[in-house]
Structure 1
Amino acid sequence: MEENAFDPELIREIFRIVWQRRASEREKNQLSQNEAEAGANTSKKGRLTSANANALKLSCELLRLFVKEAIQRAATIAEAEGSLKIEATHLERILPQLLLDF
């Protein structure tokens, strides 16, 4: 594993938190829409979401490339302004185009 790579377990935990939040939001929305309905939830929506090892590795690599590209673009802006440090304003300036590119 590359020394600057993201930890797959960290990415798995971040995904798990996001999936739990989305599931609880869906559940709240579904309960408000179907208050009168009764019955067990046996659909796919009731199951936990997970990611296999290859998906986590790919997600880590994508995140690494995204961060690397953001740093390079922000450094270019900082250098053009004569700054030796990347500041939040440099990241703010490159972020819209970076998100469109990815």
Structure 2
Amino acid sequence: MENTFDPDLIHAIFKLIWSRRALERERNEGAEALDCEVGAGTSKKNRRASANANALKLSCELLRVFVTEAVQRAATIAEAEGVGKIEATHLERILPQLLLDF
């Protein structure tokens, strides 16, 4: 099996993003009071975000493929320029098309 990202790491990153978005959502709602009552556990604030094991595996594999493709494309650009090392400018050049392809 090829090397891939650690599912625990990806899960930790997801949880960090989810918690930041929840805090941002709370700040945006701020002083706004909800006029209607919502049943327990049905609002976005009350639900805990989670990912199952298969979703984490798939996310890790997608991230691995994305990074591998980015490095390969940047290496092609670097090689065409006669440079033996990938630099940030090479990644900047391939990024727009890479994002469109994914």
TM-score w.r.t. length of structure 1: 0.88
1:14 CA drift (Å): 0.2
What RMSD in Å do the two structures reach over aligned CA positions? 1.9
Q: Which amino acid aligns with 2:66?
A: F
Structure 2, unaligned stretches of length 5 or more?
A: none
1:48 CA drift (Å): 1.1
1:39 CA drift (Å): 6.2
1:100 CA drift (Å): 1.0
Equivalence for 2:10: 11
Higher helix proportion, which one?
Answer: 1
Q: Which moved more, 1:39-48 or 1:85-94?
A: 39-48
Structure 1 stretches of 4+ with a deviation exceeding 6 A read: 38-41
Q: Which amino acid aligns with 2:13?
A: I
The alignment partner of 2:50 has SS state of: coil
Q: 2-side partners of 1:60 and 1:33: how far apart?
A: 38
1:47 CA drift (Å): 1.3
Identity %: 68
Q: Which amino acid aligns with 2:29?
A: Q
Q: 2-side partners of 1:84 and 1:41: how far apart?
A: 61
1:33 CA drift (Å): 2.9
The alignment partner of 1:33 has SS state of: coil
Equivalence for 2:73: 73
Equivalence for 2:53: 53
Equivalence for 1:25: 24
What are the Cα deviations for residues 37-63 of structure 1, in whole angstroms up to 9, with x where unaligned?
596873231211000000000000000
Structure 1, unaligned stretches of length 5 or more?
A: none
TM-score w.r.t. length of structure 2: 0.88
What are the Cα deviations for residues 49-101 of structure 1, in whole angstroms up to 9, with x where unaligned?
00000000000000000000000000000000000110111001101111111
